[in-house]
Structure formats: structure tokens, C-alpha cells
Amino acid sequence: MKWLNQLSTSRISFYIYKLNQNDAIIYDDHLSNKQYIIIIYGLLYLEKIFKNNESMCLAILTKNTLIQLNSKIMRRDQYYYKLVSLNTSYLISFYSSNLSIKNKKHINILININKSYYRTLLKYEKMIHILTHKYIKYRVIQLILLLAQEQGKITNNKITITTQITQSIIGSIVGSNKNTIHKIINYLKQNRIINYSNKKSEITIIDLIALNKFKSIT
């Protein structure tokens, strides 16, 4: 509500978008550089998709993170961006041209934009940390730990990731295929490190210490 209240009080025009689970927004070079898009609720991932159908996840974004892609350097003939909602998400959009540092009513909005930039940079850094692992198994583990931090609910010493996430989506985020992800998930399940419900696409961490210490898959 913070963004809604501040923008309304300052009489800044804005738009609100609702994305259901698995809804996606495609960004190409028509995106305005002056447009801010703030996530006010939800969990989404941003990926860069190349024309040869290869893709790379750039970040997992949460509340109060910001999307502002520079269309001036985008090459529509080579790649585009796709924002995918992992649960029900809400975004708010407005234009920087309506803001002025000389207007006292806009100061708090500009401060919060800067805070959102910082939060977003941290999200990019976390994804870089995941993708720098050479082996997919380590990427999957780091992703599970990140999701547990962002969307985890502790019950009876177990951590359930409340957002449904399919093995195909896990593969898209870490840069692998469903078969490899299925093998890794099954190994973790057999060793009672995690539980994965195929019906609900729900991950529960049973042994957090073992997950952190996990080293090899036979």
C-alpha cells in the first residue's frame, strides 16, 4: 500500500497489473526507458531469451523490487525479456517524467525508488551466485535455499516453500532440463533431505543441515 498511498497523495498517474500464476509479460524494445515497474506483491522471475531459444534467468524478484530495462541497448532481433509470475502477483507502473526532485511531495517516492534499485541489484547478485556454480545440483540446492528464504514457512522443524514451483520451472531458472532436475529432486527425496509433491509442485525441506552440506550425487 506504500506505493499506492504515495503516488495517490502526489497525484502521480499509475497503473496496477495483476498476474496469476504462470502469467508472463514480454518486454521488447518498445519498452519506455522512463517507465518504472514496481512489484508490490508476489514472486516472479525475469529471464533473457535469445532467438536460438536459449534463455538465462537474471533474477528472482519479490516485493519492492523494480524493473526498468533499457530499450535503447536492446536488440529485438537477438533477444527479449520475459517476466514470469510464480504466484499471484501485483505490479504498479508509472513514469519517471511525472516526478521532480524539486517537488517535496515526490522526495519520498524518489527515495523509495532508489531503495528498490538497491534491493533489485541484490536479487541479481543472488542469481549470479546461483548460476556461477558449475554443477546443476549445486544450482538447484542454492535455488531451494533462496526460495525457502523468500517464501518459506516453518512447521514442525520443516520448511515448506509456499509457492508452487514445477520441475520444469526449476530447470528454466537454473539452466537445465526437466530430466536432470527430476534426478536431483529424487535423490534429495530418497535421502530424506527434502520432500517434493508432484501433485502440488511443493517443496518441503526436511533436513536443512543436510541440504547445506550436500556434496555429491551418485
Cα 14 from chain centroid (whole Å):
22
Judge if pTM exceeds 0.75: yes
Q: What is the pLDDT of residues 75-95, one digit of tens each?
A: 667 888 899 999 999 999 998
- Sign for the CA dihedral angle at 97, 101, 106, 107 comes to positive
Render pLDDT for 135-144 as a digit per residue (tens, 0 to 9): 999 999 999 9
Give burial (CB, 10 Å; 0-12/13-18/19+) of 114.
Answer: exposed
Does residue 217 surpass a pLDDT of 60?
Answer: no
Query: Does 218 score more than 50 pLDDT?
Result: no
Q: Which position has the grid cell 527430476?
A: 182
Grid-cell match 536432470, residue found: 180
SS3 label, residue 197:
strand
Confidence of residue 103 (pLDDT cuts 50, 70, 90): confident
Grid cell of 184 as nine digits: 536431483
Domain range 133-213, its CATH number among 1.10.530.10, 1.10.10.10, 3.30.9.60, 2.60.40.10: 1.10.10.10
Q: Is it the case that residue 34 has pLDDT exceeding 70?
A: yes
Classify burial at 143, counting beta carbons within 10 Å of its beta carbon; exposed 0-12, middle 13-18, buried 19 or more.
Answer: buried
CATH topology for 2-124?
Jelly Rolls (2.60.120)
Any idea how long the chain is? 218
What pLDDT does 101 receive? Answer: 79
Domain locations in the chain?
2-124, 133-213
User: Which residues 6+ apart lie within 8 Å of 176 measured at CB?
Assistant: 136, 139, 140, 170
DSSP output for 88-148? SEEEEEEEGGG--TTSGGGHHHHHHHHHHHHHHHHHHHHHHHHHT-SSHHHHHHHHHHHHH
Q: pLDDT tens, 9-28?
A: 888 999 999 999 999 998 86
